[in-house]
């Protein structure tokens, strides 16, 4: 009986180790690498969109400013869109698939889709928005 | 006699499995360290580029980029961090590029460092649109 039990237990540690590798360590390794890549892309996308929104939000309406003798200082929506667009293009953000720039009142909002190639799990698409508000004298 | 041999075999199995699992666990920790420093490095490049793009002169851009990058990597474990800024003449509306590099030390991961090396080199580049409207200093 004892001998049979010992025979049954042969190789059990190896099987356990294989299970631990397959169901714990390998998924954990994939998670560590791929989530790191996603986080890096997320952080950089956020910083780039913020900069693009800020670049757009400082586009004053030059004609209105000059015609009013410096009394009217307001955001030029078309210039703001163009400036944010130039900023995003200049950033050469990796995986940038598409973006939209919205101007509402004095606020410029930039939304972008970024494709992140992962190490194991293929690719994911991140969508993120950042905004900046036109302000005078701050 | 046979039972004693099997007991020895189980011990060897356990030792081999434990060693492999430990190695894998150390590997995950090392990769986690590299990934986390990679996130920091990418962020440092972006922040350096955006800080430089808002500076009033090429010299100030270099200073601003250095300050922003150093702030970004402060508290990280990156070694020999280095920033190179290409201002491209610092023309309004032009593009500048911040290239960063740093090393991640793996000395604290004994066996992994034999496989991956004592230090892993990381590099990244980020570009930004040089602000078109900011006043310039002579």
Segment B53-59 shows an average pLDDT of: 88
Segment B17-31 shows an average pLDDT of: 86
Whether pLDDT at B39 is above 60: yes
Segment B2-21 shows an average pLDDT of: 75
Instruction: Mention every residue, 6+ apart, whose C-beta is less than 8 A from residue B104.
Output: B33, B34, B37, B77, B78, B79, B119, B120, B122
Whether pLDDT at B7 is above 70: no
- Give the pLDDT band (50/70/90) at residue B113: confident
- Placement of tokens 């998670």 in the chain: A31
- Give the pLDDT band (50/70/90) at residue B94: confident
Q: Residue A88 corresponds to which tokens in the numbers above?
A: 């995003």
* Residue B132 pLDDT: 73
Q: What is the pTM of this model?
A: 0.81
Segment B101-129 shows an average pLDDT of: 89
- Other Cβ atoms within 10 Å of A5 Cβ, number: 9
Q: Which residue has the higher pLDDT, B83 or B9?
A: B83
Q: How far from B9 is each of A3, A13, A21, B25, CA to CA, in Å?
A: 14, 10, 21, 24
* Residue A138 pLDDT: 57
* Residue A70 pLDDT: 84
Segment B71-80 shows an average pLDDT of: 92
Q: Which residue has the higher pLDDT, A24 or B103?
A: B103
- Other Cβ atoms within 10 Å of B9 Cβ, number: 14
Question: B23 in the Ramachandran plot: left (φ > 0), alpha (ψ -120 to 50) or beta?
Answer: alpha
CA B104 – CA A34 distance, rounded (Å): 18
- Placement of tokens 């799990």 in the chain: A121
- Which of B43, B50, B69, B93 best tests the A interface by mutation, with the highest count of A CBs <10 A? B50
* Residue B58 pLDDT: 87
* Cβ-based contacts of B50 with chain A (< 8 Å): 47, 51
* Residue A105 pLDDT: 87
Q: Which residue has the higher pLDDT, B14 or A33?
A: A33
For A62, the closest chain B residue by CA position comes to B133
Eight-state DSSP code of residue B89: G
Along chain A (138 residues), what's the average pLDDT of each consecutive run of 10 residues? 56 78 85 90 92 90 89 90 91 91 92 92 93 82
Collect all residues from A whose CB is shorter than 8 A from any CB in B: 2-3, 6-7, 9-14, 16-17, 20-21, 25, 28-29, 32-33, 36-37, 39-40, 43-44, 47-48, 51, 55, 58, 83, 86-87, 89-92
Q: Smallest Cβ distance to A91: which of B10, B14, B128?
A: B128
Whether pLDDT at B87 is above 60: yes
């Amino acid at each position: 009986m004892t001998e049979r039990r010992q025979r049954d237990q042969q190789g059990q540690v190896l099987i356990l180790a294989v299970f631990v590798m397959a169901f714990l360590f390998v998924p954990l390794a994939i998670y560590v690498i791929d989530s790191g890549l996603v986080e890096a892309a997320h952080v950089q996308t956020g910083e780039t969109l913020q900069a693009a929104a800020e670049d757009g939000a400082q586009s004053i309406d030059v004609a209105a400013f000059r015609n009013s003798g410096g009394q009217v200082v307001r955001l030029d929506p078309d210039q703001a869109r163009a400036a944010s667009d130039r900023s995003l293009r200049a950033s050469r953000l990796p995986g940038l698939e598409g973006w939209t720039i919205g101007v509402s009142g004095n606020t410029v909002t930039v939304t972008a889709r970024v494709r992140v190639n992962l190490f194991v799990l293929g690719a994911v698409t991140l969508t993120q928005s950042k905004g900046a508000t036109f302000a005078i004298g701050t | 006699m046979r039972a004693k041999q099997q007991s020895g075999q189980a011990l060897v199995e356990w030792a081999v499995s434990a060693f492999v699992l430990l190695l894998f666990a150390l590997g995950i920790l090392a990769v986690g360290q590299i990934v986390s420093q990679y996130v920091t490095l990418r962020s440092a490049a972006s922040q350096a580029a955006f800080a430089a793009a808002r500076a009033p002169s090429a010299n100030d851009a270099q200073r601003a980029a250095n300050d922003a990058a150093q702030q970004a990597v402060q508290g990280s474990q990156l070694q020999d961090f280095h920033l190179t800024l290409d201002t491209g003449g610092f023309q309004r509306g032009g593009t500048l590029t911040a290239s960063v590099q740093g090393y991640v030390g793996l000395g604290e991961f004994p066996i992994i460092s034999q496989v991956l090396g004592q230090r892993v080199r990381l590099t990244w580049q980020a570009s930004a649109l040089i602000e078109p409207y900011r006043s310039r200093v002579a």
